[in-house]
Amino acid sequence: MARNKVEICGVDTSKLPVLTNQEMRVLFRQLQAGDRSAREKLVNGNLRLVLSVIQRFNNRGENVDDLFQVGCIGMMKAIDNFDLGQNVKFSTYAVPMIIGEIRRYLRDNNPIRVSRSLRDIAFKALHVRDTLTNRHSREPTVQEIAEELNVPKEDVVFALDAIQDPVSLFEPIYQDGGDPIYVMDQLSDDKEKDFKWVEEIALREAMNKLNEREKLILSMRFFEGKTQMEVADEIGISQAQVSRLEKAAIHQMQKFVQ
């Protein structure tokens, strides 16, 4: 990978063309009129869209070339099925299809194998959920889905859990002012909260070096096991501010303990 140049599957992404919405509509009309060269132009003109989508899967440790190729398959399916009469932008239609193709690839290549029967229950449950949502204009309960499928409720819960993609604790959820909020920041700590007495003394001595707000945040986070969002709601500041204060306080304590 050279500076300011990224090659994926032998493609120099810095030189990929970008089509305007009007240019794409013209090409789609040509494609639907039988011009196959228009399809190639549409594919090449939307590779940047695939590139932007696969950024969402950066933290999964997958080969970027593989994800790019799979994303291109989803994009080509979108091109072949796009309907100009729907009056939506192609990217709006294509992105869910690209994501769906990548998720199917990740699911099928997941080292955690899920039995076919379990997957079948899960996909039927998702279909029934959508059907019941449309029918009743609300999200159905697990019990309602189970009754519709005529299977135990526990089987539905287990099946839906089994097809969920694993998420890294260090996957960023959002970024506020350059300070990312990670999945781990959203989790409560249900582990044993009592420290050994030596560790507790050292920690409390270090905490005495902090100001009152920093002490409160660390106490709520690590002694009471609350999430950053819970702490933010309780003391009346944003989660991003809690995250920054927490990191600064821990850094200050580390210097004291060392």
According to DSSP, residue 141 is labeled: P
DSSP 43-67: HHHTHHHHHHHHGGGGGG---HHHH
Give one word for 175, left, alpha or beta, with left for phi > 0 and alpha for psi -120 to 50: beta
CB atoms within 10 A of CB 206: 19
Q: CATH for 172-257, among 3.20.20.220, 3.90.850.10, 1.10.3720.10, 1.20.140.160?
A: 1.20.140.160
Q: What is the 3-state secondary structure (H, E, C) of 218-242?
A: HHHHHHCCCCHHHHHHHHCCCHHHH
pLDDT given at position 125: 87
Which of the two residues, 200 and 23, has the higher pLDDT score? 23
45-84: b (≥16 Cβ within 10 Å) or e: bbbebbbebbeebeeeebeeeebbebbbbbbbebbeebee
Fold of 7-108: Four Helix Bundle (Hemerythrin (Met), subunit A) (1.20.120)
Does the structure show a pLDDT above 50 at 138?
yes
Residue 105 to residue 69: CA distance in whole angstroms: 11
Contact 28, 38 (CB under 8 A): yes
Q: Of 77, 82, 70, 74, which Cα lies nearest the Cα of 21?
A: 82
Non-local (6+) Cβ contacts of 172 within 8 A are: 180, 181, 182
Contact 50, 72 (CB under 8 A): yes
Q: CATH for 116-162, among 1.10.150.110, 1.10.10.10, 3.40.50.20, 3.30.70.360?
A: 1.10.10.10
Residue 192: pLDDT band (50, 70, 90) is very low
This model's pTM is above 0.75: no
Domain borders along the chain are 7-108, 116-162, 172-257
Residue 13: pLDDT band (50, 70, 90) is low
- What is the average per-residue pLDDT within 93-105? 86
Q: What six digits make up the tokens of 220? A: 């709520």
Asked if the domains 7-108 and 172-257 are classified in one and the same CATH topology, the answer is: no
